[in-house]
Chains A and B, each alone.
Chain A
């Protein structure tokens, strides 16, 4: 009797329970991590880019779909001066900033907002320069601040960028995620009420969606469509980001319709997903790199032959097969193949434990010492499973008689450990925030870059530094490429980093979702997304 009652209740519940997939004006994107902030000017993690760049903001210019040429965004057109030292941008008129319950703009977007947005990066004396900069890395200043001397307002809808040197990368910089335009009026209002820090957490931009609310604890971010958006208005009225850290659960939630789109499914399930006609997979090659860095300051690892020997000891192929499956491409270069500065004359990484052992012996490697493999407990977009990768490396090292210890730490503890410099090797990854090799090499190799910024090998060499700096300032494109070729050769000889794989960005959506755009550099774009009834 009671049993029947339970069954009846279950059926009743089942009948009443409606899944999210039937509501076509609401889209749920299940992401991997909560964004650091809601302003891609100061946060460069992929979650922030996904949550902000295309959704909340616009930039002056953006890349077209092919990623090769620039198309107008908030600037309708632009001119380069004859001496190549300045660019003039003509701005779009009648562009509304978002109206939210915490801010109501009283004027349209104009040149003041452009100047306000870029002054935040360029001028140390502006009040917003130092706000919320804790998690900020140096991308904030370089290479943009080196490049631009000043931004001048010509009239309300014309601004001029004055450059230090002739440089072609200005447009690429403006199209990068940190080129977003924020509201000056909002900034002034926040200053007057004494809460300037809110500018990055209660965002106001001109983009197709506007911020509704967000909660880090629950991992849910809600956006509404921006009703006065100047461009093509999205058909989705409610855009929800739901952080689901577990890959398997993301996959299950996609199948059950609780998520419309998910990011980074479990790599081992990729072939199953590809075979499922109900799921669309979006794979995009990225410059994001999974790597293993050698602490070149630590004893023994200051010898480049030892580092080379370690690189011979690692079986990269098995790592790719066991950890990455089809979500990463094995690589022997730091720079991805699609980059314009990629040096095709690379040294391929070989798996040769015999050679490794020989080299170690020739260089008097101390086999009694246990080396540390530091890594993060929490997996990221760079590596589906840091700890298992470390275990594979450990096995490879064990085969040639090297004892190693894996230290997996939570982010807070990891940061402390890295800052202390107390590690031999570190298994991590790095993303390249803009399509410029400098944005990869500088954090990895510059003497100025800290470990937290990316230089986990603590690499500092005069030759590399000179090469980095001169390449950045070089206006001749061919010469610049040559410098980066040279840089790649040096890193392959000196081997401060062992590149493991260039990871693919994988997003999966249900069949009823169309119009998804994923830009590997600036993040996912939901402006043109459509959701239809499931049939």
Chain B
């Protein structure tokens, strides 16, 4: 458990500090973490950092990015066919897509943990019904369930988020359930039980610290799927119905210009790619840190 090899009398670190100190050693993960923090900052402060107001219309249509011939420095990533600044719209898009996905991951994880834990700790008919119901929901492809929900509730950005969360929730509940179930059969939990620990205590101190690693990768998976699904629905025209600049919708609205100014299609796609990549690398680093912390 000791990290500092020079002074053995150094105080014992808390598990969190310990994990962090392992994580710090991974340079790529640290870089990814900083990019992720910047992205989250962009989401929160998008309103303040926009280089141009989104409705600004310059008389220069379809400008290429700055570094290509004909680009101007006022519009770093160029403009679209209505003369709007691409960077501005991209930032708004990131706000909608990433912000939506973060919010959705938060809600899904809270709801999923509550339901999954409750189900794991109860036995009998109720748990069985929930189980089978989740089984059935899990075999409906997420795109199909999102399409169904959107057909029922009507297309809008909010409904798109609801649809994606509802399609991801069963996966989360199921994974949490299995993880807790596996832990419950272990001896240290039985020991805790025999000590008279209530369910909450059992979860808080017995189970969760031990399923942390799979929780991290589960959250990462849900988050990546959320990003990809929100943008897919936006792309299909169901999420944001064009008038918002969700990243997928940005791609869809620029497809007609793919040969005259391909960057309008390229940039939003690269943005999605970077978001997913960065968060993946970050959580992968985190997961390794947690594993290593447990191993040693």
Contacts and interface: CB of A to CB of B under 8 A. Distances in A.
- CB–CB under 8 A between A and B in the complex? yes
Interface of A: 246-248, 251, 266, 268-269, 272, 318, 321-323, 377, 385, 387-388, 391-392, 394-395, 398, 406, 408
Nearest to B154: A413
20 contacts: A246-B255, A247-B256, A268-B256, A268-B257, A269-B259, A318-B57, A318-B59, A322-B81, A322-B82, A377-B241, A385-B256, A388-B81, A388-B253, A391-B82, A392-B57, A395-B57, A398-B55, A406-B242, A406-B243, A408-B243
B237 A392 contact: no
B252 to A, nearest CB: 11
Nearest to A249: B255
Contacts of B257: 268
B61 interface: yes
B260 interface: yes
Nearest to B83: A322
Contact of B260 (A269, A392, A395): A269
Contacts of B82: 322, 388, 391-392, 395
Given A246-B255, A269-B260, A406-B242, 11 more contacts: A247-B256, A248-B255, A266-B256, A268-B81, A272-B260, A318-B57, A322-B81, A388-B82, A395-B82, A406-B243, A408-B242
> Sorted from nearest, which 10 A-B pairs have the closest CB atoms?
A395-B57, A268-B260, A387-B242, A248-B256, A322-B61, A395-B55, A266-B256, A406-B243, A322-B81, A398-B55
Contacts of B212: none
A318 B55 CA distance: 15
A12 B86 CA distance: 43
A248 B258 contact: yes
Interface string B241-280: 1110000000001011111100000000000000000000
A408 B81 contact: no
Main SS class of interface, A: helix
B237 A377 contact: yes
Nearest to B56: A395
B257 to A, nearest CB: 6
Main SS class of interface, B: loop
Contact residues on B (Cβ < 8 Å of other chain), bracket:
10 to 19
A401 to B, nearest CB: 13
Contacts of A246: 255
Contacts of B237: 377
Contacts of B253: 387-388
A251 B259 CA distance: 10
B62 to A, nearest CB: 8
Contacts of B61: 321-322
Contacts of A394: 55
B32 to A, nearest CB: 31
Given A268-B81, A322-B61, A322-B81, A408 B255 contact: no
Nearest to B61: A322
Interface in B194-208: none
A408 B238 CA distance: 12
A391 B258 CA distance: 20
B238 to A, nearest CB: 11
Contacts of A391: 82
Contacts of A272: 259-260
Interface centre among B82, B241, B253, B260 (most CB of A within 10 A): B82
Contacts of A322: 61, 81-83
Interface string B34-51: 000000000000000000
A248 B259 contact: yes
Nearest to B62: A268
Contacts of B241: 377, 408
A398 B84 CA distance: 14
Nearest to B81: A322
Contacts of A266: 256
A272 B57 CA distance: 25
A27 B237 CA distance: 33
Contacts of B256: 247-248, 266, 268, 385
A377 B252 CA distance: 13
A248 B81 CA distance: 15
Nearest to B155: A410
A247 B257 CA distance: 10
B242 to A, nearest CB: 5
A168 B57 CA distance: 51
Contacts of A251: 259
Interface string B53-69: 00101010110000000
Contacts of B57: 318, 392, 395
Interface string B146-187: 000000000000000000000000000000000000000000
A318 B260 CA distance: 18
Contacts of A387: 242, 253
Contacts of A321: 61
A387 B240 CA distance: 13
A488 B83 CA distance: 34
A503 B202 CA distance: 72
Contacts of A318: 57, 59
Contacts of B81: 268, 322-323, 388
A322 B58 CA distance: 12
Interface centre among B55, B59, B237, B256 (most CB of A within 10 A): B256
A391 B83 CA distance: 11
Contacts of A247: 256
A247 B81 CA distance: 16
A278 to B, nearest CB: 16
A395 B80 CA distance: 14
A509 to B, nearest CB: 19
Contacts of B55: 394-395, 398
A322 B253 CA distance: 14
A392 B84 CA distance: 11
Contacts of A323: 81
B196 to A, nearest CB: 60
A387 B82 CA distance: 11
A251 B253 CA distance: 17
Nearest to A389: B82
Contacts of B258: 248
A485 B294 CA distance: 88
A269 to B, nearest CB: 7
B6 to A, nearest CB: 52
Nearest to A319: B82
A86 B268 CA distance: 67
Contacts of A269: 259-260
A318 B82 CA distance: 9
Contacts of B62: 268
Contacts of B59: 318
A247 B259 CA distance: 12
A399 to B, nearest CB: 9
A268 B254 CA distance: 12
A268 B253 CA distance: 14
A395 B258 CA distance: 24
Nearest to A266: B256
Contacts of A406: 242-243
